[in-house]
Each structure stands twice: as C-alpha cells, then as structure tokens.
C-alpha cells in the first residue's frame, strides 16, 4: 500500500447494518464537478494493488475519484489489517 502524491479526504458512512464503509476522495482541481466512483470488489481493497495508480490517473485527467472498502471485507480502520472479522 502507498500514498498518493495529492491530498485525499477520508470519509466513513454507516451501512444499513451500522457497519463502517470507509473511503477516500481524491480531489482534482480541474474536475468541473466530474467524479468517478472506483469500486474495488468485495475483497479488493481500495488502497492496494492497482487502485492508487487508477486514482492518480483519474485525478490527473481531471476527475475527482472516490474509492472505498466494503463493510464485511474484514479490513480495519488502518486500511491494511484484518481486524473486523465479525
């Protein structure tokens, strides 16, 4: 996992079961309100693999990029550890 060279805004919303869905918004100053929602899949984690590169390319192309980890994926608040296994 690595950080993007631009600032991201972390967010958390509750699922219908009250479980946290954690995500990040990468802001492009050139977006004109355009945004892409990146959905990594149930066991694909938003801050791992090719997703940081996808987000970086979207922001450079002039889009805001939103990505998140699904609740029940087991990933903890730190974005790396499997601490939420129930």
CA angle 62, 36, 67 (to 5 degrees): 115
Q: Is the pLDDT of residue 36 over 60?
A: yes
What share of the chain has pLDDT > 90, as a percent?
29
Mean pLDDT taken over the chain: 79
Answer yes or no: pTM beyond 0.85.
no
The enclosing H or E element of 20 equals: strand 20-26
The predicted pLDDT at position 4 comes to 64
Q: Is the pLDDT of residue 59 over 90?
A: yes
């Amino acid at each position: 996992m690595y950080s993007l060279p631009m600032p991201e805004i972390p967010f958390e919303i509750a699922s219908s079961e009250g479980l946290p869905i954690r995500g990040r918004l990468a802001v492009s100053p050139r977006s004109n309100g355009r945004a892409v929602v990146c959905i990594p899949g149930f066991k694909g984690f938003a801050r791992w693999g090719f997703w940081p590169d996808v987000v970086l390319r979207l922001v450079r192309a002039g889009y805001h990029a939103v990505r998140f980890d699904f609740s029940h994926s087991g990933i903890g608040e730190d974005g790396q550890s499997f601490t939420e296994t129930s």
